[in-house]
Amino acid sequence: MLLQRNFLSLALAAGVLGLASCNKGGDFSKTKSGIEYKVFKGTNGKYDDREVSAEGDPTYKDRVGKIMALHVEYRTAKDSILFNSRKQQMGFPVRVPLDSVRKEQRGGLEEAISLLQPGDSAVFRFNVDTIFAKSFRQPVPPFMKKAGNTMTMYVKVDKVQTRDEAMADVQKMQVEQQQKMQAYAETQLKKDDVTLQDYIKKNSLNAQKDASGVYVAVTQPGTGPKPKQGQVVSVQYKGTLLDGKEFDSSAKGNQGKPIEFPIGVGQVIPGWDKAIPLLNKGSKAVLLIPSSLAYGQRGAGANIPADAILRFDVELVDVKNAPAAPAGQPNAADIQRQLEEMQRQQQGK
């Protein structure tokens, strides 16, 4: 879990609001490949049914080679929301290249998107085995399978653009998104700190706050060295939400073995890169990570919601130097120095 920012880091991961009511009443149509669908054309704030042939949309050929900007929301068979771009992408749409739908993509997201025209809204229902095999190219996660055999996708198409138009929009969006994310993170950090102080008091933790906002409560001091940037650490851990619900652990996720990673190069959530260097080798501690230094607005999968503060009970098992990189290749410390130099140059512009 720590090494994966989001299991749905997919080309179409995004969200839409206000379409849930479209799923109520009426029958789904179905493509020959088995996708169930309802397509609506928006007119003056109202949604009217738009007929779409099970054979596909004959006008799609005119959109091939262009870029579609759209919002999408994924839900499990039990109606749990997996991803929502209006919240998790600061309201910005996802952009999808439109290509000809190949035979092996029939029944997947690619075919569903090909049914849509600018201004359309739609509800698609997929068989989870089919969608994960064809579009995600990975096994169905256990929690999805447990929820049922279908996955529903709500879609709102914003516009279709040429690649040059889309590139210009993306560059503008990235600047705006970064500004919004920074402002949101600063506000959320203050809220999280109030929650954390209350949690620390209620649980009688002797926790010290780092300048970043992370709290560390050492429960068993170690006598070894503290890790330095670029060194490789081995850590046993258990991760829980503040309500005590466990979402991950080295015992479950790594077969009882500690996980290993280099410090300070972004291979784990920022809160770990901040907190682990504060511990001596052999230490056991409680790490309390504000959401902005964990998975932020996006959350992670079904077990870590958006804006979730995380608790980790950890043991720093080992600290060692990173293995020497092959001749001509940078090691972790070199990469970090390069990143810092790039940041300095950008700030100086």
pLDDT in tens, 257-272: 999 999 988 889 999 9
Report the 3 state secondary structure along 220-257. ECCCCCCCCCCCEEEEEEEEEECCCCEEEEHHHHCCCC
What is the rounded (10 degree) CA torsion for 93, 98, 101, 107?
0
DSSP 39-63: EEEEETTEEEE----TT--GGGGGT
Q: Which residues contact 4 (CB under 8 A, 6 or more apart)?
A: 300
Per-residue CA distances from 49 to 23, 52, 110, 123, 278 (Å): 12, 9, 21, 11, 59
Q: Check pLDDT > 60 for residue 188.
A: yes
Check residue 25 and give its pLDDT.
Answer: 43
Mean pLDDT of 50-75: 90
Nearest to 288 by CA among 222, 192, 202: 192
Residue 127 has what DSSP assignment?
E
What are the backbone angles phi and psi of residue 278, rounded to the nearest 5°? -85, -10
Q: Check pLDDT > 50 for residue 95.
A: yes
Confidence of residue 47 (pLDDT cuts 50, 70, 90): confident
What is the CATH T-level fold of the domain 191-323, as seen in this structure? Answer: Chitinase A; domain 3 (3.10.50)
Q: Check pLDDT > 70 for residue 200.
A: yes
To the nearest whole number, what is the mean pLDDT of the chain? Answer: 83
CB 124 within 8 A of CB 112: yes
The proportion of the chain whose per-residue pLDDT surpasses 90, expressed as a percent, equals 51
Check residue 3 and give its pLDDT.
Answer: 34
pLDDT in tens, 108-152: 999 999 999 998 999 999 999 998 888 888 888 888 888 999 999
The domain spans of the chain are: 20-161, 191-323
Check residue 325 and give its pLDDT.
Answer: 56
pLDDT in tens, 291-308: 999 998 888 877 899 899
**Cβ count within 10 A of residue 238:** 16
Nearest to 115 by CA among 76, 72, 66, 61: 61
Q: Check pLDDT > 70 for residue 212.
A: yes
Q: Give the integer Cα–Cα distance in Å for 58 and 345.
A: 50
Topology agreement, domain 20-161 and domain 191-323: yes
**20-161: CATH architecture:** Roll (3.10)
What are the backbone angles phi and psi of residue 61, rounded to the nearest 5°? -60, -25
Helix (H, G, I), strand (E, B) or coil at 30: strand
Q: Check pLDDT > 90 for residue 89.
A: no
Mean pLDDT of 184-197: 93
Check residue 81 and give its pLDDT.
Answer: 85
Check residue 35 and give its pLDDT.
Answer: 93
Confidence of residue 285 (pLDDT cuts 50, 70, 90): very high
Amino acid (one-letter) located at 206: N
Q: Check pLDDT > 50 for residue 203.
A: yes
User: Which spans in the chain are helix H?
Assistant: 85-88, 109-114, 128-131, 142-147, 163-202, 250-253, 270-275, 332-347
Least confident stretch, 12-16, 229-233, 335-339: 12-16
Q: Which residues contact 66 (CB under 8 A, 6 or more apart)?
A: 98, 160, 161, 162, 163, 166
Nearest to 65 by CA among 191, 166, 169, 202: 166
Q: Which residues contact 285 (CB under 8 A, 6 or more apart)?
A: 216, 217, 218, 219, 220, 275, 279, 313, 314, 315, 316
pLDDT in tens, 140-186: 888 888 899 999 999 999 999 999 998 888 888 778 777 877 888 88
Locus of tokens 């209006």: 86
Mean pLDDT of 333-339: 54
Check residue 90 and give its pLDDT.
Answer: 67
User: Which is higher by pLDDT, 12 or 241?
Assistant: 241
**Which secondary structure element, helix H or strand E, spans residue 292, and what is its range?**
none
Q: Check pLDDT > 70 for residue 322.
A: yes
Q: Give the integer Cα–Cα distance in Å for 41 and 119.
A: 6
Locus of tokens 């914003």: 158
